[in-house]
């Protein structure tokens, strides 16, 4: 895991994002316990409260469950939720593309054409 100090992204979000990726890609398996908050804090050289907040973030997103006195384990990831996560990512990327198209002065028509062309290429390969 990499923690960057000067990107503007809060450290707890960097941790939760990277752990989330590991969970969604299956690197961290269902039922597996995450490292304890104090040992992760020690290893990453950050404060305990920051790691705690990262874990709470993951818990709020339903990816892990906290057990009093035992730590946090990875929840079973149902396919519906995985799909939902991916859909959100697609949506975000498209929004970015739209914003870039605005700056470049492209019309909606041109943008959809471009998407269609790219899709065609994809299928041909």
Partner 1 sequence: MEFTSVIDGANICKKFKNFTLDIPEFRIPKGFATALVGENGAGKTTLMNILAGVRLDYQGKLEYFDEREQNVEKVKERIGYTAPGLYFMPQWSIRQVEEICGLLFDRFDREKFRDICGKLNIGDGDGKKTVAKLSDGNRMKLMLASVLARETDCLLLDEPASPLDPLMRDGLCQMIREYLESGDGERSVFFSTHNVSDMENVTDYCMILERGRIVEQGFVEELKEKYLLVKGEHCDAEAAKQVLYSFSGSSYGFEGICLAKDLDRLAGMDVKVETATLSQICVAVMKAYTGLQLTA
Chain contacts with partner 1 (rule: CB under 8 A): 8, 10, 12, 36, 38-39, 41-42, 45-50, 53
Minimal distance, residue 86 CB to partner 1, in Å: 29
Helix residue ranges, H only, the chain: 11-24, 37-44, 48-60, 79-104, 108-124
Question: By C-beta, is 66 or 97 nearer to partner 1?
Answer: 66
Question: By C-beta, is 38 or 83 nearer to partner 1?
Answer: 38
> For residue 81, what are its two tokens?
């939720």
Minimal distance, residue 5 CB to partner 1, in Å: 9
Go through 6-45 and write b for each residue having 16 or more CB atoms within 10 A of its CB, e for each that does not.
eeeeebbebbbeebbebbbeeebeeeeebbebeebbeebe
Minimal distance, residue 88 CB to partner 1, in Å: 24
Question: By C-beta, is 38 or 86 nearer to partner 1?
Answer: 38
């Amino acid at each position: 895991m990499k923690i960057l100090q000067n990107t503007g992204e809060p450290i707890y979000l960097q941790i939760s994002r990277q752990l989330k990726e590991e969970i969604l890609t299956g690197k961290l398996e269902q039922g597996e316990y995450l490292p304890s908050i104090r040992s992760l804090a020690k290893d990453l050289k950050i404060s305990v409260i920051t790691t705690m907040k990262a874990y709470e973030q993951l818990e709020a997103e339903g990816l892990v469950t906290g057990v009093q006195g035992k730590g946090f384990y990875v929840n079973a990831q149902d396919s519906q939720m995985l799909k939902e996560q991916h859909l959100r990512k697609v949506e975000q990327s498209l929004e970015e593309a739209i914003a870039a198209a605005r700056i470049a002065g492209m019309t909606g028509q041109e943008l959809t054409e471009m998407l269609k062309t790219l899709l065609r290429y994809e299928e041909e390969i």
